[in-house]
A and B are shown apart, each in its own frame.
Chain A
Amino acid sequence: MGLDVEMKTAEPAAAPSPLIHLKAAIALIEKGVAKKEMRLMARAIRQMLAVRRRLKASTVSSFLNYALPSGSEALSRLLGFVAKVELGDASMEVDTPPSMAQSSQLSYKQSVLPELESFSYLLVIIFLIDQKHLEDAKVCSSAAIKRLQQFNRRTLDVLAARLYFYYSLSYERTDSLADIRGTLLALHRTATLRHDELGQETLLNLLLRNYLHYNLYDQAEKLRSKTLRSDSHSNQQLCRYLYYLGKIRTIQLEYTDAKECLLQAARKAPSSARGFRIQCTKWAAIVRLLLGEIPERTTFMQQGMRKALLPYFELTNAVRIGDLELFRAVADKNASVFYADKTHNLIVRLRHNVIRTGLRNISISYSRISLRDVASKLHLDSATAVADAESIVTKAIRDGGIDASVDHSKGWMQSKETGDIYSTQEPQQAFHSRIAFCLNTHNEAVKALRFPPDAHKKELESAEKRRERQQQELELAKHIAEEDDDEF
């Protein structure tokens, strides 16, 4: 698909060496397991990704020696992969790898947390993918998935979801996505049974991506519509889901839904995910054209996207003018781009919209025009051009594209007077939908706010205290009153 849907937020690299960062990540994971706090896991992964670009074979292997018990199966396997990379670019190595004796001393402890093991797998897989050792990454990720299937721990979910993602990525890069479909489906089933919502979400997206990679829209839609989706746990996964859903809807000609999904995906995607946003914008532009809307010029002029969107800009221009000749020329000129984006079939569908727009322009400019002139203006060049024009015009009238009527005997098209839109309910409805949108956005924002756990308890305690205090005061008052009585 040529598109990088990775949406990692790249954090500015900090100065200390990667190894220190990774060790800090271990501490986070252990704390996370102890406290059952998922967010710490996610933070550990983020910390690793921050040093991703600076990873070296030596760093990775010393980390592995540190994190995993010596002599364990995982350690020897993972070290094997890293050693291969090291051999590949031995000339570039400057750091001396720590000696075995030293590392075994450093070894963390004898039995290791499954989370730490998964984390090590994840690190090695990412490292292998970055170093372009894709076959090894495939083997390694398959082993990791096998290992994961032996555990049933909720604290693993965050790490597992990431592992699934890289598992699929390594197969996609080696163009063998079809092989893992069965495994992914099995994993999705397991995740559903265990209420691992993040896993479900990730795996569903991976499956959709898997199907769409082979244009299996039918299967993708069937899977999607039969899967229960809970509220999203991760913004990235939600974006991806919306993008895939938008694509499916586009193919099924449900353009209104598709537009909503694609625009939302583009809006929600983090600004660093440029490739993803470009892809969303491309599809959204086509869907809007198919709906008969013209995307604004600014859509195509966004920072850093201008060049990638140029073919689509030209296309929009052709549709806007309603010129079939120009449209054909643009489609031919950029055919290779459209094939690569898999939008070619959609472009073919657009032809009909070009005619429609042209017709609308004619109907606005002329109050009455002969069908012969319509045919020549639309460049309909067949033997029965006038009859063609007539049937096209009648269909446009039926579909509500233009407001006109045709006089067959006299052979002309008569446009109707456009009524005053403000005498209808239209403005009221438009206004309402905008207000509803704003209110909805506000509510979503409130929902998305994160509250620290147990924060409300403090207040509760203080309330208790207050009650205590009030009681004390009450007693005191009573006391005083009694004293008063005594004195009396």
Chain B
Amino acid sequence: MEAKLQDINHIFQKFQVEYARNSFDNCNNLLSQLKVKLTELPGLPPLFKPSPTAAQELVLARDILEHAVVLSVKMEDQDAFERHFLQLKSYYTDTRGLVPPSEQEYPILGLNLLRLLVQNRIAEFHTELELLPPEAHENACIKHAVELEQSFMEGAYNRVLSARQAVPHETYVYFMDLLAKTVRDEIAGCSEKAYDSLSVTDAKKILMFSSDWELQEYVSEDHPSWEIRGSSVYFQKVKDLAPCKEIPSLQLINQTLGYARELERIV
């Protein structure tokens, strides 16, 4: 067991060197080697076999996975992030009594919350949030994500965007950039309903574009129903809830027949 651990440690050191140099391809190769090696350790989930080196194994595996998660953010690969995070999560939840908690725990959990927010998976966001103990909410990384969600739900998009300047961790920037795109789509959706028309200058400002050309591009690609005429953008309103003029006869007949049938059964 000692030999195996040393072997893994050795590869992991190489990995860290490459990681510091930001050469992602090499990192990826080493990471796959590491992951194969990890399967040979019996102290890891789901076996949790007690042994003198179990704690050491757990810490090492957790460390490797934490690096893997951050690496996938750096490589901007959301699927890999999800995979690695799910693997890592069981180390956070199931090894509480076995090894001391990791320093990286809250930053990574916060990162995951942010990812769920970006992907608009709000239900999962809240499920994850329930798992956190109350003291975790004091942590800057978690707080950041929670406040973002709140501003997002309220519609205070300015606050979401300005939060980019105050990221608690460098890895958060990637997701914050993605979030900016999500926010723009949201704003566009809201503006469509709330305004009849906007001047091009205002529209640019609201939708965070620097040039007219970008705005035109966006409108033609994502919102073909909008119209730019002169110096204004006009939103086509979908008419809804018009007072009903005719009687929905078929539906009424169905309902009435249903009542008759039920009443028959009662009497």
Residues of A within 8 A of B (CB): 215-218, 251-254, 339, 342, 344-345, 348-349, 351-352, 355, 382, 384, 387-388, 391-398, 404-409, 419-420, 423-425, 428, 432, 435, 439, 442-443
Contact = CB atoms under 8 A, between A and B. Distances in A.
Given A395-B190, A398-B189, A435-B259, A348 B146 contact: yes
Given A251-B127, A345-B126, A435-B259, A394 B155 contact: yes
Contact of B123 (A253, A407, A409, A425): A253
Given A251-B126, A339-B134, A397-B193, A391 B153 contact: no
Contacts of B199: 408-409
B194 A393 contact: yes
Contacts of B129: 345
Contact of B156 (A345, A392, A409): A392
Given A218-B127, A348-B146, A408 B202 contact: yes
B130 interface: yes
Given A392-B155, A408-B195, A252 B123 contact: yes
Contacts of B155: 391-396
A424 B195 contact: no
13 contacts: A218-B127, A251-B130, A252-B126, A348-B146, A391-B155, A394-B187, A397-B190, A405-B195, A408-B199, A424-B241, A424-B243, A435-B259, A442-B266
Contact of B244 (A251, A352, A423, A432): A423
Contacts of A215: 130-131
Contact of A406 (B186, B195, B241): B195
Contacts of B153: 349, 352
Contacts, number: 104
Interface in B95-131: 122-124, 126-127, 129-131
B255 interface: yes
Contacts of A352: 150, 153-154
Nearest to A221: B127
Given A253-B123, A419-B241, A388 B134 contact: no
Given A217-B127, A252-B123, A391-B158, 10 more contacts: A352-B154, A388-B156, A391-B187, A394-B195, A398-B190, A407-B195, A409-B202, A423-B243, A424-B243, A424-B244
A391 B156 contact: yes
B191 interface: yes
Contact of A439 (B126, B206, B262): B262
A6 B144 CA distance: 40
A250 to B, nearest CB: 9
B128 to A, nearest CB: 8
Contacts of B131: 215-216
B248 interface: yes
Contact size range, B: 35 or more
Counting from the closest, the 6 A-B pairs by CB-CB distance are A395-B155, A394-B194, A394-B190, A423-B243, A252-B123, A397-B194
Q: Chain B binding site: helix, strand, loop or mixed by DSSP?
A: helix
Most buried by B among A387, A395, A407, A428: A395
Contact of A425 (B122, B189, B206, B248): B248
Given A217-B127, A405-B195, A391 B190 contact: yes
Contacts of A419: 241, 243
A410 to B, nearest CB: 12
Nearest to B191: A394
B193 A345 contact: no
Contacts of B163: none
B30 interface: no
A399 B259 CA distance: 35
A341 to B, nearest CB: 13
B92 interface: no
Nearest to B128: A218
Contacts of B248: 425
A405 B150 contact: no
Most buried by A among B122, B189, B193, B248: B193
Contacts of B195: 394, 405-408
Contact of B243 (A395, A408, A420): A420
A210 to B, nearest CB: 15
A344 B133 CA distance: 11
B130 A406 contact: no
Contacts of B7: none
A33 to B, nearest CB: 39
Contacts of B156: 388, 391-392
B222 to A, nearest CB: 16
A351 B152 CA distance: 12
B157 interface: yes
B158 A394 contact: no
Nearest to A218: B127
Contacts of A218: 124, 127
B198 interface: yes
Nearest to B193: A398
Contacts of B192: 398
A388 to B, nearest CB: 5
Contacts of B126: 251-253, 345, 349
Given A395-B190, A408-B198, A388 B159 contact: yes
Contacts of A397: 190, 193-194
B194 A405 contact: yes
B196 interface: yes
A436 to B, nearest CB: 8
B168 to A, nearest CB: 19
Interface in B241-255: 241, 243-244, 248, 252, 255
